[in-house]
Amino acid sequence: MKTSQLFTKTSKTAPADETSRSAELLLRAGYIYKEMAGVYDFLPLGMRTLQNIIQVIREEMNALGAQELTMSTLQSKAVWEASDRWSDEVMDVWFKTKLNAGGEVGLAPTHEEPFTRLMKSYISSYKDLPIYVYQFQNKFRNELRAKSGIMRTREFIMKDLYSFCIDRKQHEKFYEEVAKSYARIFDRLGIGDKTYRTFASGGSFCKFSDEFQTLCEAGEDIIYIDKESGIALNEEVLTDENLENLGIKRENLTEHKAAEVGNIFTLGYKYADALDLNFNDESGKRQKVFMGSYGIGPSRVMGVIAEMLSDDKGLVWPEEIAPYKYYLVGLGEEGNKKAAELHDKAPELVFFDDRDARAGEKFADAELMGMPYRVVISDKTLANNQVEVMNRKTGETKLLTLDEFEHKLV
Amino acid sequence: MKTSQLFTKTSKTAPADETSRSAELLLRAGYIYKEMAGVYDFLPLGMRTLQNIIQVIREEMNALGAQELTMSTLQSKAVWEASDRWSDEVMDVWFKTKLNAGGEVGLAPTHEEPFTRLMKSYISSYKDLPIYVYQFQNKFRNELRAKSGIMRTREFIMKDLYSFCIDRKQHEKFYEEVAKSYARIFDRLGIGDKTYRTFASGGSFCKFSDEFQTLCEAGEDIIYIDKESGIALNEEVLTDENLENLGIKRENLTEHKAAEVGNIFTLGYKYADALDLNFNDESGKRQKVFMGSYGIGPSRVMGVIAEMLSDDKGLVWPEEIAPYKYYLVGLGEEGNKKAAELHDKAPELVFFDDRDARAGEKFADAELMGMPYRVVISDKTLANNQVEVMNRKTGETKLLTLDEFEHKLV
């Protein structure tokens, strides 16, 4: 990609109403555009970043043996009435709208109900189980307050995985596999060292659920970590009884602000009961299906990464999710000619700043946009057959021969 | 993919309320699931097919130099009031809903307005133009009647491309490039020979727009084709004046039912006027931006392909969009062992029916699901080191050596 091909431009200032650093940087760097409070577009650089995050998650979901599909946004009232979640008093984040043909429909805030109903068409015997299905689909939540840019929005993309098992035992095995898969995902996304599997409230389903909480000042949650055991608890479950059961002493806990980047729930029989999802066991007896649900919000994760890994100069993307790996700058006539050549070898890896602008302006944009490596080719480096490569995260600079750099583009 | 890994199953009957052949076959083969009238989920096989169609379109859009991004579904009232399209009397397909925080929002039925507003942040000079941007994004249209399965729905995915040019001349050049790109797309999707670029009403924008109409009995449009010149007209523009201007005689026209698979519009200054999108020309004078819009609905196209290319036995997918290229059946113990081996070499190309079922059942499902080639390995073919390959479309059968077939899997 070349700057001259990209319609977005960077800007020195961000809208006054954005208070979070991630939103400010993502807006200034041209990654996102604000349609209204809590609703954002993903511009070309932002969409590439988001797609890279999605691809990491997809690979790990497929490795679990889960099957991808896409459910609808529009939701039928009857399906949600069956589980008693249609009422605004039970679920206060519904967006609802009316069909011209008559009747009311909702915009999916989550998808347990339609997944459960779908499975009624395909599950009849224990031989059909277990089934693991997931999607990347927009969710709509009518939040009273949207905040922190893309970390808490009214419309956002979510990866939601659902498991359908013959019993709790089969479920628990998969649940732990997903927990491991989530740890791998957050490692690959560059926030593994700051992300804790955290005991949280299980809601109506079971005693605990697991949240994946990333330490982050802009986060909305408070978690407590026992440094010795590595066990973390959401403040909502910080009771003497729980501490005792977990063998943890209150005085060893440290308090942290954190952002929830994933969660996994044991749903048990709640939805199978409500929507009558059964199977015949080996002896031909009807049994309820045991369910679980597992979420990660890729756009929220992108916000958390932008918040945590950025610095005063701008964004800092881990290699696996950066829109481009190299931010290439040519200085002088020969430097620019060579830079253009190198870009053309790998336009998917190289972002070439081909503007007729001062070096300082290009360097500032390189820092703001946050590609992992800034590569400079000048008449001077060329004279030694070299390029200068700076690591965006560490600031470390080294010289590579042209050959060495070209090999990285293959 | 193996049948045993896929949660969907085929069924012999379709819901009684589905009258179109494509919907019946897609439902029976487990490609889609009906949430309610006009709202469908895309199950794993359907999602793969849809993604393949999207990928073909994406490649052609990128070849035009267009940049991909993703706009929001939720739409702010003010932006659409500016163009006078917020009112239900002007745009009768709106879904609207209320924010808990106060205020009304709409679900995007199309995206001209937000794209125009977005560009106000990025277009200032003639040097910024032209700009071509596109997305694959869900559209919501509150149709009174949904029909023909995924050919006319209330929620559907759309590729919409928008062009921003300095003047009509620059616009017209791009417009023709898009028309050629669309022809390539429909060729690659296997419906090129039945798809006509068709004169249609230009609405308020200009005299004509261009529709891409595919001859199809289940289509909702009537078009007239002049066989000699290849010129096609939508019935809405079949006037003596237009015929005379085009140099066509009414008696040479043949009438056809057709489904609209794409459209391209010259928007002119309509939205730039409404939302005040300007640029400075070379002499520093403020000028309005000249716009165009270009749509293809991938899910609708999938329905049209399913409708047109299917036969009495089931679906028939062109190679480029089939979820898997080969439907592999092993007969006998050795045949099944070898089939499993071949599947494992290329699970992205091969759908292996590993069920413990009669050959006839597997063959019937192979026909219903519509993969381009059915491949049978039996103890008998194995004795000659061969596999039997049947072309789903032509029914033609030939024997390949195992080596020849394995080479196709690399």
> Are A292 and A265 in contact, with CB atoms under 8 Å apart?
yes
Rounded Cα–Cα distance for residues B393 and B408 (Å): 19
Question: Pick from A257, A176, A153: which is nearest to A214 by CA?
Answer: A257
User: Is the per-residue pLDDT at A205 higher than 80?
Assistant: no
Report percent pLDDT > 90 for chain A: 93
Q: Give chain A positions within 8 Å (CB) of B89.
A: none
**Does B271 lie at the interface with A, CB-CB under 8 angstroms?**
no
Find the mean pLDDT for residues A259-269: 96
Q: What is the pLDDT of residue B367?
A: 98
Q: Give chain A positions within 8 Å (CB) of B50.
A: 70
DSSP A166: S
One digit per residue, the tens of pLDDT, for chain B of length 410 reads 999 999 999 999 887 888 899 999 999 999 999 999 999 999 999 999 999 999 999 999 999 999 999 999 999 999 999 999 999 999 999 999 999 999 999 999 999 999 999 999 999 999 999 999 999 999 999 999 888 899 999 999 999 999 999 999 999 999 999 999 999 999 999 999 999 999 998 865 567 899 999 999 999 999 999 988 989 999 999 999 999 999 999 999 999 999 999 999 999 999 999 999 999 999 999 999 999 999 999 999 999 999 999 999 999 999 999 999 999 999 999 999 999 999 999 999 999 999 999 999 999 999 999 999 999 999 999 999 999 999 999 999 999 999 999 999 98
- Residues within 8 A of B (CB atoms), A 74-93 only: 74-76, 92-93
Chain B closest-CA separation from residue A251 CA (Å): 41
CA A133 from centre of chain: 18
> Which three-class secondary structure state does DSSP give residue A54?
helix
Q: Give chain A positions within 8 Å (CB) of B42.
A: 69-70
CB contact under 8 A, B122 and A9: yes
Question: Pick from A194, A254, A182: which is nearest to A223 by CA?
Answer: A254
Residue type, B383: A
Among chain B residues, CA nearest to A71? B41
Question: Of B67, B71, B95, which has the smallest distance from its Cβ to A6's Cβ?
Answer: B67
Chain B closest-CA separation from residue A268 CA (Å): 20
> Are B375 and B51 in contact, with CB atoms under 8 Å apart?
no
> Which three-class secondary structure state does DSSP give residue A249?
coil
Q: Is the dihedral of CA A170, A173, A176, A180 positive or negative?
A: negative
Among chain A residues, CA nearest to B4? A128
pLDDT band at A146 (very low <50, low <70, confident <90, very high): confident
Among chain A residues, CA nearest to B40? A72
pLDDT band at A317 (very low <50, low <70, confident <90, very high): very high
As given in the structure block, the two tokens for residue A171 are: 């479920």
The 3 state secondary structure assigned to B271-293 is: HHHHHCCEEECCCCCEEECEEEE
Q: What is the pLDDT of residue B17?
A: 81
Question: Of A7, A68, A76, which has the smallest distance from its Cβ to B67's Cβ?
Answer: A7
How much of chain A is in helix, strand and coil states, percent to nearest 5?
A: 35, 30, 35
**Does A62 lie at the interface with B, CB-CB under 8 angstroms?**
no
**Does B68 lie at the interface with A, CB-CB under 8 angstroms?**
yes
Rounded Cα–Cα distance for residues A201 and B229 (Å): 70
Question: Of A76, A138, A144, which has the smallest distance from its Cβ to B101's Cβ?
Answer: A144
As given in the structure block, the two tokens for residue B237 are: 């523009």
Q: What is the pLDDT of residue A18?
A: 84
**Does A155 lie at the interface with B, CB-CB under 8 angstroms?**
yes
CB contact under 8 A, A131 and B42: no
Residues with Cβ within 8 Å of residue A344, at least 6 apart in sequence: none
CB contact under 8 A, A69 and B41: yes
DSSP A154: S
Q: Choose from A5, A105, A127, A135 for mutation: most chain B CBs within 10 A.
A: A105
> Are B213 and B259 in contact, with CB atoms under 8 Å apart?
yes
Q: Choose from A52, A70, A141 for mutation: most chain B CBs within 10 A.
A: A70
Q: Give Dmax (Cα) for chain B.
A: 80
Question: Of A42, A143, A146, which has the smallest distance from its Cβ to B70's Cβ?
Answer: A42
CB contact under 8 A, A67 and B44: yes
Q: Would you tell me the crossing angle of helices B298-309 and B21-28 to the nearest 10 degrees?
A: 100
The least confident of A95-109, A235-249, A383-397, B350-364 is: A235-249
User: Is the per-residue pLDDT at A145 higher than 80?
Assistant: yes
> Are A234 and A213 in contact, with CB atoms under 8 Å apart?
yes
**Does A128 lie at the interface with B, CB-CB under 8 angstroms?**
yes
> Are B33 and B40 in contact, with CB atoms under 8 Å apart?
yes
Question: Of B72, B140, B155, which has the smallest distance from its Cβ to A41's Cβ?
Answer: B72
Find the mean pLDDT for residues A176-193: 97
Residue type, A331: L
**Does A114 lie at the interface with B, CB-CB under 8 angstroms?**
yes
**Does B150 lie at the interface with A, CB-CB under 8 angstroms?**
no
Alpha carbon separation from A72 to A78, A225, A324, B40, B352 (Å, rounded): 15, 39, 32, 6, 29
Q: Give chain A positions within 8 Å (CB) of B5.
A: 65, 67
User: Is the per-residue pLDDT at A78 higher than 90?
Assistant: yes
Chain A closest-CA separation from residue B150 CA (Å): 12
E strand or H helix at A179, and its extent? helix A168-188
> Are B280 and B124 in contact, with CB atoms under 8 Å apart?
yes
Q: Give chain B positions within 8 Å (CB) of A6.
A: 67
> Are A230 and A239 in contact, with CB atoms under 8 Å apart?
no
Burial environment of residue A27 by CB neighbours within 10 A (0 to 12, 13 to 18, 19 or more): buried
Q: What is the pLDDT of residue B203?
A: 63
CB contact under 8 A, B145 and A76: no
Question: Pick from B119, B109, B92: which is nearest to B274 by CA?
Answer: B119
**Does B47 lie at the interface with A, CB-CB under 8 angstroms?**
yes
Tokens 């932002």 belong to residue:
A46
Q: What is the pLDDT of residue A206?
A: 67
Q: Choose from B58, B74, B76, B348 for mutation: most chain A CBs within 10 A.
A: B74
Residues with Cβ within 8 Å of residue B78, at least 6 apart in sequence: none
Find out whether the peptide bond into B130 is cis, omega within 30 degrees of 0.
yes
Count the neighbouring beta carbons within 10 Å of the beta carbon of residue B242: 14
